[in-house]
Amino acid sequence: MLGHNIIVIGASAGGVEATTQLVRSLPGDIPAAIFVVIHIAPHSKSLLPQIFQRRGSLPATHPEDGEKIELGRVYVAPPDFHLLIKTGYINLVHGPKENRHRPAVDPLFRSAAQAYSNRVIAVILSGSLDDGTAGLLAVKKQGGIAIVQDPEEALYDGMPRSAIENVAVDYVLPIAEISKKLVDLAYQPVPTENNPVDPQLEMETEIAELEKEAVESHDRPGKESPYSCPECGGVLWELNNGNFLRFRCRTGHAFSPDSLFAGQSEALEQALWVALRALKEQSALSQKLADRSKAQNRSIAANRFTKKVKEVEARAEVIRRVLVQNQSQALNSEINDQNDDLENDLID
């Protein structure tokens, strides 16, 4: 019987260091194919394959769409593409963002679960928020194995803790122990019978692939919610995987709770900037009309427009203070966050 020969790894902030450590510690003869998704900026140049190969035993690449899967190789999601697994080959798609990212972890995990069922091992490493939790649930439902980095070791514990809180995780281990466990499981035989594919899992994988029938279908899993999609403004449907609540819109954008909250916060900030711009334009117009009225000796109109300037500026000041407070919080978060491109440059 075949072993657990499909290993999928997901990470975000702090994930380059963790994934590099893990991949480099795997032997070159491991009888498994390894697939990696790390959140990276869509227009950045990814050096992840070169980083993984440096002092490592496994060849690593950004795969081509349709490339055949081979054991003993590491396949890294390229920027701005979801990395999906089909039976025997790789599918790269520019599908809807999930959890505000492309590539995202959940589509990789779901596609692996659909294609390879109980032969899949899914690994969650360091990262913020909760991408990967829904995909890990899908892997477990199809009979696969869930491994999570010990949150106490992770640079960012959001993704590991979300996974542990919402999934019946098989192993919670430090990086050094995860590599040993992966090797053991790769040689551990599994039954050849696959679990029946969940129709919702199949539909969500097709949506990620932008399959015409799935995108145009009026049937959506879950129930309609009162919330709108931060990406496109469409209605979100609520999905429940056990006790884990998720959301997906008609065009396919998907969110877990923390990611939706982050998206809403970003949309709110954009709305505040638009409001501030509109108020400043209104203030400038009112001042122009006040000056024009004074020049024409129209004192009543001049006073009215001058009063309008003060009212509008007072409203603008309220919004400015809110934005300053948000910027201060964002700056503190950015200082603590690890930029993936910077990590690429700094890691040996």
Residue 215 has pLDDT above 90, yes or no: no
Residue 216 has pLDDT above 60, yes or no: yes
pLDDT, residue 208, reads 82
Taking the C-alpha atoms of residue 22 and residue 47, their distance in angstroms, rounded to an integer, is: 17
| Chain CA centroid to CA 305, Å | 48
Taking the C-alpha atoms of residue 186 and residue 55, their distance in angstroms, rounded to an integer, is: 22
Residue 315 has pLDDT above 90, yes or no: yes
Do 234 and 291 reside in the same domain of the chain? no
Amino acid of residue 149: Q
Residue 1 has pLDDT above 70, yes or no: no
Q: Mean pLDDT, to the nearest integer, of 208-227?
A: 76
CB 104 within 8 A of CB 246: no
Q: Mean pLDDT, to the nearest integer, of 313-317?
A: 93
Residue where a domain stops, chosen among 186, 209, 232: 186
Banded model confidence at residue 346, pLDDT cuts 50, 70, 90: very low
* CATH number, domain containing residue 110: 3.40.50.180
Query: Considering only 30-39, 61-70, 329-338, which range has the smallest mean pLDDT?
Result: 329-338
Residue 146 token pair = 């869930």
Do 15 and 76 reside in the same domain of the chain? yes
Do 244 and 170 reside in the same domain of the chain? no
Q: What is the tally of structural domains in the chain?
A: 3
Residue 347 has pLDDT above 50, yes or no: no
Do 336 and 277 reside in the same domain of the chain? yes
Residue where a domain stops, chosen among 139, 170, 186: 186
Taking the C-alpha atoms of residue 163 and residue 348, their distance in angstroms, rounded to an integer, is: 29
Do 30 and 67 reside in the same domain of the chain? yes
Query: Is position 1 within any domain?
Result: no
Do 161 and 278 reside in the same domain of the chain? no
Residue 55 has pLDDT above 70, yes or no: yes
Banded model confidence at residue 341, pLDDT cuts 50, 70, 90: very low
Measured over the CA atoms of residue 10, residue 159, residue 40 and residue 48, the dihedral's sign is: negative
CB 19 within 8 A of CB 36: yes
* Buried/exposed code over 52-86 (b: 16+ C-beta within 10 A; e: otherwise): bbeebebebbbbeeeeebeebbbbbbbbbbbbbbb
Query: Is position 197 within any domain?
Result: no
* Residue predicted with more confidence, 121 or 190: 121
Do 166 and 28 reside in the same domain of the chain? yes
Closest among 109, 117, 112 to 190, alpha carbons compared? 117
Taking the C-alpha atoms of residue 323 and residue 141, their distance in angstroms, rounded to an integer, is: 43
Query: Is position 195 within any domain?
Result: no
Residue 343 has pLDDT above 60, yes or no: no
Q: Mean pLDDT, to the nearest integer, of 157-176?
A: 96
Residues in Cβ contact with 143 at an 8 Å cutoff, skipping those fewer than 6 apart: 117, 118, 194, 195
Q: Mean pLDDT, to the nearest integer, of 271-286?
A: 93
Paired residues of 223 in beta bridges: 238
Q: Please return the burial class of 315, using the count of CB atoms within 10 Å of its CB with bins 0-12, 13-18 and 19+.
A: middle
Residue 199 has pLDDT above 70, yes or no: yes
Query: Strand 6-11 to strand 244-249: parallel, antiparallel, or no bridges (unpaired)?
Result: unpaired
Query: Is position 245 within any domain?
Result: yes
Do 86 and 182 reside in the same domain of the chain? yes
Domain that holds residue 302: 260-346
Paired residues of 7 in beta bridges: 34, 121
pLDDT, residue 172, reads 98
Do 241 and 266 reside in the same domain of the chain? no
Paired residues of 9 in beta bridges: 36, 123
Amino acid of residue 29: D
Query: Is position 207 within any domain?
Result: no
Q: Please return the burial class of 33, using the count of CB atoms within 10 Å of its CB with bins 0-12, 13-18 and 19+.
A: buried
Residue 192 token pair = 């050849």
Query: Is position 194 within any domain?
Result: no
pLDDT, residue 330, reads 54
Residue 317 has pLDDT above 80, yes or no: yes
Question: ∠ CA(222), CA(227), CA(231), 5° rounding?
Answer: 100
Do 226 and 282 reside in the same domain of the chain? no
pLDDT digits (tens, 9 = 90+) for 85-133: 999 999 999 999 999 999 999 999 999 999 999 999 999 999 999 999 9
Residue where a domain stops, chosen among 163, 186, 209: 186
CB 18 within 8 A of CB 175: yes
Query: Is position 333 within any domain?
Result: yes
Question: What is the greatest pairwise CA distance in the chain?
Answer: 95
Query: Is position 143 within any domain?
Result: yes
* Residue predicted with more confidence, 218 or 209: 209
Residue 59 has pLDDT above 70, yes or no: yes
Banded model confidence at residue 8, pLDDT cuts 50, 70, 90: very high
Taking the C-alpha atoms of residue 265 and residue 27, their distance in angstroms, rounded to an integer, is: 43
pLDDT, residue 342, reads 43
Do 235 and 267 reside in the same domain of the chain? no
Do 38 and 131 reside in the same domain of the chain? yes
pLDDT, residue 327, reads 64
Enumerate the active-site residues. Answer: 12, 39, 131
Query: Considering only 3-12, 183-192, 280-289, which range has the smallest mean pLDDT?
Result: 183-192
